[in-house]
Amino acid sequence: MKAALYGYGTVGRGAAEALEKSGIEVARVLGIGTMPELGDRFTTDINDVLADDSISIAAECIGGYEPAHSYLKASLESGKSVVSSNKQMISRYLRELVSIAREKGLSIAFSAAAGGGIPWLPNLIRCGEADDITGLGGVMNGTTNFILDEMQSGGRDFGDVLREAQALGFAEADPSADIDGIDVRAKIAISADLAFDGFLDPETVPALGIRFITMEDVENFRKLGLICRLTGRAERTESGAAAYVEPMLYAAGSAEWALPGAGNLISLESEKYGKLSFRGPGAGRGPTGCNVALDIIDIAQGRCIFDRVNCQKDIVNGTDEVLRRYYLRGDIDGIGFSAERRAGSGVITEPVSVSALHSAASAIIEKGGKIFAASLAE
């Protein structure tokens, strides 16, 4: 059995290492520039892979929309099953790529696109075979969890910790994807697609991040016995499903509360299971590489659980149907939600719809205001 890797950065190298045990040969690596250590296996031309019929699986670890998307499409069209670790691209093109794979009788798997090294997506699909998923989500971004943890356990300022994370290389120079919840948006959209078997456009997922959290908020939470985690959440609603990203406040002693550092914790809720949680490394060469390798191995052995996925029907994001209580602090005069009680220098609102809260908060931020909003976890 032969596979090709598209991209040979952190994840691609991790995948190659994790395939060593399996007996699957990485026959080709597509990259840019030169990689003398790969010898003849290295190429910069996708056609070298597409034309090679001995390669039956191609795994993409490039990231971004293009050329990742066209490479996977071309690979499927040339008869190869595909694997991807690319949340951004998969969240946008899932329906199209699944549809081509089904037509051709090929597999497409993407465990590493949500949860990094946690086997979250395959278990979500598998549990859905016996039970109806009612809700899911959790802490899906390690960088923001590291920042929040340092603030809440270490008493350090947001800016300080962000700069440290950037220096350590696990926050980007432009930190927006992490701290504004864009990364989690793609992951929760993909999770919702699989849980509710449809396609939810990630652009419709409202996201509030942690850009404006201050030590004042942390102190307010501490007095309430709560801890803040940036959370992706999707749930079944009366008319369909809803997905959103926002900071949430968790009670002392909960599983989310006991999640230090860059850890991830993702859960599903279902009628028969109750709550089932998966906790582990949400990123990194070893773990994410394993998730890519395991998808390849599953396909090679004919037991890819993603083959059960269809995801063709539209999911309209019904965040107007979901009500939550929010902690608010900052430029909130005239925001128009009644406060149920005070919370230090902030307030806790009465239950309001997720869509109304996100719209109001985004409008304030767009006008240059600063607001920190976090919902109370159930």
Least distance (Å) between residue 344 CB and its own copies? 23
In this complex, which beta carbon is closest to its own copies, that of residue 188 or of residue 297?
Answer: 297
Closest C-alpha to 84, from 256, 295, 323: 295
DSSP 173-221: SSTHHHHTSHHHHHHHHHHHHHHTTSB--GGGS-B--STT--HHHHHHH
d(C-alpha 355, C-alpha 117), whole Å: 31
Per CB under 8 A, the list member of 9, 51, 64, 126 interacting with its own copies is 126
DSSP category for residue 39:
G
Least distance (Å) between residue 149 CB and its own copies? 10
The neighbouring-strand residues paired with 267 are: 137, 277
Per CB under 8 A, the list member of 38, 41, 211, 273 interacting with its own copies is 273
Strand intervals (E) in the chain: 2-6, 25-30, 42-43, 55-60, 81-84, 108-109, 133-139, 226-236, 241-251, 263-270, 274-281, 323-324, 326-330, 339-343, 346-349, 352-353, 371-376
CA distances from 15 to 21, 308, 353 (A): 11, 24, 42
Least distance (Å) between residue 264 CB and its own copies? 10
Confirm or reject binding of residue 290 to its own copies (CB under 8 A).
yes
Confirm or reject binding of residue 293 to its own copies (CB under 8 A).
yes
Confirm or reject binding of residue 277 to its own copies (CB under 8 A).
yes
Least distance (Å) between residue 46 CB and its own copies? 26
Confirm or reject binding of residue 25 to its own copies (CB under 8 A).
no
Confirm or reject binding of residue 257 to its own copies (CB under 8 A).
yes
Per CB under 8 A, the list member of 215, 258, 323, 363 interacting with its own copies is 258
d(C-alpha 152, C-alpha 13), whole Å: 34
Confirm or reject binding of residue 9 to its own copies (CB under 8 A).
no
Residues 301-340 touching its own copies, rule: CB under 8 A, are 302-305
| Buried b / exposed e along 38-69 (16+ C-beta atoms within 10 A) | beebbbeebeebbebeebbbbbbbbeeeeebb
Q: Is 187 marked active-site?
A: yes
Confirm or reject binding of residue 131 to its own copies (CB under 8 A).
yes
Instruction: Please tell me the count of residues contacting its own copies according to CB under 8 A.
Output: 48
Candidates 73, 104, 187, 272; catalytic one? 187
Binding mask 184-213 for its own copies (x = CB under 8 A): ------------------------------
Least distance (Å) between residue 332 CB and its own copies? 32
In this complex, which beta carbon is closest to its own copies, that of residue 111 or of residue 141?
Answer: 111
Three-state DSSP state, 168: coil
Closest C-alpha to 187, from 140, 143, 147, 144: 140
Confirm or reject binding of residue 278 to its own copies (CB under 8 A).
yes
Binding-site ranges for its own copies (CB under 8 A): 14, 17-19, 21-22, 117-119, 122-123, 126-127, 129-132, 253-255, 257-260, 271-281, 284, 286-287, 289-290, 293-294, 297-298, 302-305
Catalytic residues: 187
